[in-house]
């Protein structure tokens, strides 16, 4: 796989070295068991796969190259390049300005942009409408386009499905930048609908089987269907693609459920005429991170530390997996470790940061699971590990 030129300050003397050793020993990733680091009073179980993925490293390399190649020019990012506050802050400190926030609210109006401005497309990609807006302003959207290749793979698959008259079902969070972009590209070639989770897929299945009045469809999926979407016509041939940072197991569960609905409606013998196999759109990095998390959870640990940006979708799913088994603390950096007894962490269910006291068990050794999201630099995970070692050893 290609290697990228990313700033050295995103790497680390401990975590990056562990990754390199595991990669050399097991290049095909047959072994997802964690690395054990025994410091006496504290034992860390470090995930086999976590941190910067191919798409993130590609985006970072392109973004820093844009800064280097364009001294004196105004440089803009459409929105956060990736969901990590440290990375985005460093780019801003180097003069890069954001055009909008992650929800699409603009800081810079389109008419303020000039033809010779540099605009970087983030790793999530962007909508067809924004691409056309920038092109109309004379701005080159290709030179510094950091859209993840695996996101583009989803777009291409959706396009091929649309050309064969399949409707696209997108598993994703409809306010997330990547899902907005995928929806925009998919609806260019096919009727498109977004489902958030298996519960919504179950509701969709009931519409398809006539168990819920079709008159309720528009209200249920408002703002998540393409223009002129007709459930009486467009739900007879479907394919499922996903926001690449969603749980791979949930995407597969949604696809399996909707396939079973099609079998009930049209019969097993004609299923290929009504349901497209789209397993090839699952992102390898999301899949690897989640498999590595399952392997982590086989360890007899006392708590889990998950490091990453609080608005990172893939990180929040790792948190959800860990929460099913043991106390889990989602932190953005080592600064959130306030003392041996206090930690400030993000509670994904209330969507706010909280402080927990006496979170460390009074045992020796303390066994801690350690992992991070795909947009978190190794250096930040390294800082977390080192801080706990200072506190506990």
3-state helix, strand, coil in the chain (%, to 5): 45, 15, 40
Sign of the dihedral defined by the CA atoms of residues 277, 146, 331, 7, in that order = positive
Match 């998950």 to its residue by tokens: 306
99 touches 129 (CB < 8 A): no
Residue 274 CB neighbour total at 10 angstroms: 20
223 touches 217 (CB < 8 A): no
Active site residue 188: no
Strands ordered across the beta sheet of 192-195: 192-195, 167-171, 238-242, 275-276
Residue tagged active-site, from 57, 131, 177, 178: 178
Q: Provide the strand spans (E) within the chain.
A: 35-38, 42-46, 75-77, 97-98, 118-120, 167-171, 192-195, 238-242, 275-276, 303-307, 328-331, 342-347, 352-357, 366-372
Residues identified as active-site: 178
């Amino acid at each position: 796989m290609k290697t990228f030129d990313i700033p050295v300050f995103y790497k680390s003397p401990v975590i990056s070295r562990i990754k390199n050793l595991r990669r050399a020993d097991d290049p095909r990733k047959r072994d997802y068991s964690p690395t054990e680091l025994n410091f006496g009073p504290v034992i860390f179980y470090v995930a086999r796969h976590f941190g910067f993925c191919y798409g993130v490293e590609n985006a970072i390399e392109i973004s820093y190259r844009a800064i280097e190649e364009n001294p004196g020019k105004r440089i803009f990012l459409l929105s956060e390049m990736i969901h990590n506050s440290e990375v985005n802050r460093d780019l801003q400190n180097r003069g890069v300005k954001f055009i909008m926030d992650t929800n699409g609210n603009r800081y810079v109006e389109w008419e303020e942009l000039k033809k010779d401005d540099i605009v970087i497309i983030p790793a999530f990609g962007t909508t067809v409408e924004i691409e056309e807006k920038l092109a109309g302003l004379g701005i080159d959207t290709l030179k510094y386009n950091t859209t993840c290749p695996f996101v583009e793979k989803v777009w291409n698959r959706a396009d091929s499905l649309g050309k064969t008259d399949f409707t696209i079902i997108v598993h994703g969070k409809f306010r997330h930048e990547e899902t907005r972009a995928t929806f925009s590209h998919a609806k260019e070639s096919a009727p498109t609908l977004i489902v958030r989770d298996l519960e919504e897929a179950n509701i969709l299945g009931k519409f398809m089987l006539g168990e819920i009045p079709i008159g309720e469809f528009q209200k249920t999926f408002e703002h998540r269907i393409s223009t002129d979407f007709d459930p009486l016509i467009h739900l007879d041939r479907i394919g499922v693609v996903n926001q690449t940072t969603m749980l791979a197991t949930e995407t597969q569960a949604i696809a399996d459920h909707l396939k079973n609905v099609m079998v009930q409606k049209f019969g097993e013998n004609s299923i290929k005429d009504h349901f497209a196999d789209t397993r090839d759109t699952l992102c390898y990095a999301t899949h690897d991170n989640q498999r590595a998390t399952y392997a982590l959870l086989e360890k007899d640990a006392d708590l889990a530390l998950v490091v990453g940006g609080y608005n990172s979708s893939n990180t929040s799913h790792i948190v959800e997996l860990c929460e099913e088994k043991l106390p889990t603390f989602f932190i953005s950096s080592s600064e959130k470790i306030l003392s041996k007894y206090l930690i400030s962490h993000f509670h994904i269910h209330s969507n706010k940061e909280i402080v927990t006291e006496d979170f460390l068990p009074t045992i020796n050794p303390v066994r801690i699971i350690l992992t991070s999201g795909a947009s978190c630099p190794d250096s930040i995970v390294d800082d977390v590990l080192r801080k706990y070692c200072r506190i506990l050893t």
